[in-house]
Amino acid sequence: MKGAHIRGAKGDNGKVIHRKPLSRLRIQTTRLVDNWDRFWFSSRPQRDMNWIRIAIGIAAAIYALTWLMSLGGWTSDDSLLSQSQTEFLIGRGVEGTGSEGRVSPLFTLVPSGFAWVYVLVTSIASFIVAFGVGGRFAVLLAWALLLGLIHRVPMLQGPGDFLITGVFGYLLICPGEKFTTSNRDESIDRVANSWLCNLAIRLFQCHVFLWFAASLASHLAEPMWWNGTAPWWLSFSGDQSWVSMRFWLDHPYVMNLICSSILGLQAWILISFLVPSWRSSGTVALVAFAVVNLVIANDWVYSVAIVACIPTLLVPSGSALRSQN
């Protein structure tokens, strides 16, 4: 068929109409557009969102509870992050600092007792979201309360705080269905199909993928990940490392093995999002990465946030970033 015309149907006058073949570029472009539409705007059952919502909701509730005993001490009038001190540090009233966007009830209601109540209400609201009660209104309320914590003490936030609150907003697009253990009729699931559910899941997946891509890129750009000292520095990011990295500084092969393992796990996670057959092993990599982070950095919130990302890999019907067709 190279260089030839394609014979088509006959016209009204009986003559054969010849058509030039579509260019390869046009075919590839059409295929790309079709895959793009299928990836973002396909319809899927809303129940596919349930386990993502449950995981993120529980992770947010745990995150809020971590502030239960300490937030009042940090935000009281005589603390390091009192209202006046925090407003000075974030540049409140100074043009160009973006401080006007840091809105939180904790700025105006400063008694430590109220901080305790605020944290408890935030945790309860997140649990309510996890169980699918209240729909988008419950999601919006819980998300606003979580952002209130972030805005009040931004200096104390770690990567887990931003990962949880960052993806939480996608539940507004589609919160899924109410969690239930009862038997379901398949016809109900067909009626509950929604392209918004697919869109929300894709945003979750892309967010987590880009998060680990940025994490891996930033690690590769730091000399400490090449000279083997990164685990020692990570051990200072938490309250107290489970394993003393100072001892292992005298064992460069061990330190470099730990660094290579952490980098390898992140690369493994990224590949699992792109290759559908790697999804199960990607789950193992996420759990292993969370455990390593917990043991070395003792960062409970980040470890919980990482585990909460597992359902983004396990949603059915072609959940990986690459189309399976």
Tell me what pLDDT residue 21 has.
Answer: 56
Tell me what pLDDT residue 177 has.
Answer: 83
- Token pair of 84 as six digits: 């006046």
pLDDT tens-place string over residues 125-146: 999 999 999 899 999 999 999 9
Contact 105, 150 (CB under 8 A): no
CB-CB neighbours of 270 under 10 Å: 21
Tell me what pLDDT residue 17 has.
Answer: 52
Contact 230, 262 (CB under 8 A): yes
pLDDT tens-place string over residues 87-120: 666 666 566 666 666 777 777 665 556 778 888 9
| CA 283 to each of CA 51, 73, 287, 291, 312: distance values in angstroms, whole numbers, following the listed order | 14, 38, 6, 12, 10
Instruction: Provide the H-helix boundaries in the chain.
Output: 24-41, 50-65, 71-75, 83-89, 112-130, 135-152, 159-168, 186-191, 195-220, 224-227, 230-234, 245-248, 252-274, 279-297, 300-308, 311-314
Contact 292, 262 (CB under 8 A): yes
Tell me what pLDDT residue 189 has.
Answer: 44
Tell me what pLDDT residue 121 has.
Answer: 93
The span from the CA of 119 to the CA of 99, in Å, is 22
Question: Which of the 8 DSSP states describes residue 98?
Answer: -
| CA 44 to each of CA 53, 141, 190: distance values in angstroms, whole numbers, following the listed order | 16, 26, 8
The span from the CA of 191 to the CA of 62, in Å, is 34
CB-CB neighbours of 83 under 10 Å: 18
Q: Which residues of the chain have pLDDT under 50?
A: 1-8, 186-191, 318-325
Angle (nearest 5°) at CA 136 between 48 and 318: 20
Task: Map out the domains of the chain as residue ranges.
Answer: 44-180, 206-325
